Structure 1
């Protein structure tokens, strides 16, 4: 191994501790809300019933699978900044605006809950984009904007589903 590489120090990303705190706090808020939302989607996937079962069972699975991937990306982005992502259910529930629901809900109530969660997630995602933009963090900004685009499409589709 080249001796220069062995002695090289890790590169700093270039953000001040205050900037890192602002970005990681915004990302942890998204992470906490996304994590509670994820569990709600699992709940709905397992417990949906009635004439919409086949459509919604599959849709909830697609949503929670995508959500899990996004959660992982957000947590890893927080690690990029040398920060620790929230990772306990206790912390998620403490920080999250999204709240748990019961298991015995009508399918239309489940969909309305998911739509409400999307609105909350979009609010926190917009805050994360703003925080990243203020600090010149294009990596976080692009990642969250990608999530926003997908959530907006899911919102449209579930809204159309309720209009039947």
Structure 2
């Protein structure tokens, strides 16, 4: 797969190239997260159907906006965003979700995905700092705040 390099090649990248690479991985994570949410939205069952069906839709709509924003940020930095799902699966830290489970188990998978994305956003922020990229630094902190708030709410839901 092109656009994502080996560890040795990563050491030789410029700050801008490292940032683009981290944004590609964030894009892949968001694409898997988005698809998992769609899966949960379609397949949730049980007493919590109405609230989780609606919440998963809210989350996948937000994720869709972020996918577009991340891809456009890559383009702004003169990169070429990945567009094939096979590329996303290859580099994402988020796996395809199992939707043959309870609503609570789906929520637990969402919490885990949020934690993974927050860590990757922090990696991108570090790369953006190294690259003196104020544009990316202006966008990404809000991602962290949103996901942390959602996790707090989901954890309260599970209690």
Return the TM-score normalized by structure 2: 0.90
- Residues paired across the two proteins, number: 147
**2 CA distance for matches of 1:115 and 1:87?**
25
2:47 is the alignment partner of 1:79: no
Q: How does 1:3-152 map to 2 (within 5 A)?
A: 18-152=14-148
Query: 1:33-67: CA deviations, max 9, x gaps?
Result: 11000000000000000000001000000000000
Partners of 2:46 and 2:70 in 1: CA distance: 35
Shift of residue 69, structure 1, vs aligned partner: 0.1
Deviation at 1:103, TM superposition (A): 2.6
Question: Stretches of 4+ moved more than 3 A in 1?
Answer: none
Gaps of 5+ in 2: 1-12
Distance 2:109 2:99 in 1: 12
Which protein has the larger Cα radius of gyration, Structure 1 or Structure 2?
A: 1
SS in 1 for 2:140: helix
Q: Offset of 1:101 from its aligned partner? A: 2.0
User: What is the distance in 1 between the residues matched to 2:108 and 2:99?
Assistant: 14
* SS in structure 2 of the partner of residue 148 of structure 1: helix
TM-score, normalised by the number of residues in structure 1: 0.87
Over aligned residue pairs, what C-alpha RMSD do you find? Answer: 1.0
Deviation string, structure 1 residues 2-55 (Cα, Å, up to 9, x no partner): xxxxxxxxxxxxxxx712211101111110011000000000000000000001
